[in-house]
Amino acid sequence: MSIARRIEKLQRDFLWGGLEDEQKFHLVNWQQICTPLHSGGLGIRNMATFNKALLGKWLWRYSREPASLWRQVIDSKYGGQGSTISWDIEFTRSVQDWELEMVESFMSLLYSQTIRPGVVDSLCWSPSCRGLFEVRSFYTTLISPHPPGIFPWKSVWKAKVPSRVAFFVWTAALGKILTTENLRKRRVTILDWCCMCKSSGESVNHLLVHCPVAWELWSMVLVIFGKNWVMPRDVVDLLSCWKGIRGNSEAGKIWKMVPHCLMWCLW
């Protein structure tokens, strides 16, 4: 096992089990945990990916420090890059008719860059606004190549509740809390029924949103705040539409805590 994997295992076991030796269920997979908060993760650093990002610094320095000794050593050992650069593009296959337009725009992009004689090319790191390499921006590019999803991360993490409650709501929003339905998916032999209404199966959305007992609790609170409310489809939708109903007043702060308090109580 690589060192990165060993460290990751320690992190995972600590996250789900604390310092106890007992094996606990790992509710959310590590890849998800390593994505940023706004994508529904915890923003924990992925060791292997972060290592790659750190190594990126050396690639950057390689081209920025042509005179330094370490680069000369690498050049002499592995053969360095030539100093002149010219457009000599070879495609791996021939271009199809319908791709001509794409090739044309690619070539015009290349030739639209004015090359000033006597001026040396320089590298520019586009993910950072200053154009200089930053490990952090490389790591972000590596870890989330896709645009952030629609996870209601502000509703989950910005409410003024104890962090274990926010953590619980996060796992609930991902549909990972250990309801009887989820326990059965993990091959635990257990009857799938809701212990509150004693009629339906205990899925995350039933237990926290749709169960008649839960709904009574929700309506009680909504009446206090004078709200008419149609229950959304699931926990994520509920959290998504909960935000921004009231401003930053005291009542607004309490309002933001309502989903956390109710779901924690129901659980």
Decide whether 194 or 258 has the Cβ nearer to Zn ion. 194
Decide whether 197 or 217 has the Cβ nearer to Zn ion. 197
Cα angle vertex 113, ends 92, 67, to 5°? 85
Residue 254 sits in the site that holds Zn ion (CB under 5 A): no
Residue 263 sits in the site that holds Zn ion (CB under 5 A): no
Decide whether 196 or 222 has the Cβ nearer to Zn ion. 196
Decide whether 208 or 239 has the Cβ nearer to Zn ion. 208
The alpha carbon of residue 76 and the mean position of all alpha carbons in its chain are separated, in whole angstroms, by: 41
Residue 204 sits in the site that holds Zn ion (CB under 5 A): no
**Minimum CB distance to Zn ion, residue 205 (Å):** 11
**Minimum CB distance to Zn ion, residue 184 (Å):** 16
> Which one among 34, 159, 194, 208 touches Zn ion, defined by CB under 5 A?
194
H helices present in 18-151, as ranges: 30-33, 47-64, 69-78, 100-112, 135-143
Q: Can you tell me which residue has the tokens 């690639």?
A: 59
Decide whether 37 or 231 has the Cβ nearer to Zn ion. 231
The alpha carbon of residue 51 and the mean position of all alpha carbons in its chain are separated, in whole angstroms, by: 18
Size of the site for Zn ion (CB under 5 A): 4
Are 235 and 175 within 8 A, CB to CB?
Answer: yes
> Which one among 37, 44, 165, 197 touches Zn ion, defined by CB under 5 A?
197
Select from 147-155, 165-173, 205-213, 259-267 the region that touches Zn ion (CB under 5 A).
205-213
Select from 16-24, 208-216, 220-228, 230-238 the region that touches Zn ion (CB under 5 A).
208-216
**Minimum CB distance to Zn ion, residue 196 (Å):** 5
Angle between the N-to-C axes of helices 212-224 and 250-266, in degrees from 0 to 180, rounded to the nearest 10: 170
Q: Count CB atoms within 10 A of the CB of residue 33.
A: 19
Select from 15-23, 78-86, 119-127, 191-199 the region that touches Zn ion (CB under 5 A).
191-199
Q: Which of 212, 215, 209 is nearest to 172 (CA)?
A: 209
Rounded Cα gap, residues 168 and 173, in angstroms: 9
Rounded Cα gap, residues 124 and 42, in angstroms: 31
Q: Which of 197, 194, 149 is nearest to 173 (CA)?
A: 149
Decide whether 48 or 197 has the Cβ nearer to Zn ion. 197
Structure tokens at 133: 């390499």
> Which one among 27, 156, 211, 238 touches Zn ion, defined by CB under 5 A?
211
**Minimum CB distance to Zn ion, residue 211 (Å):** 3
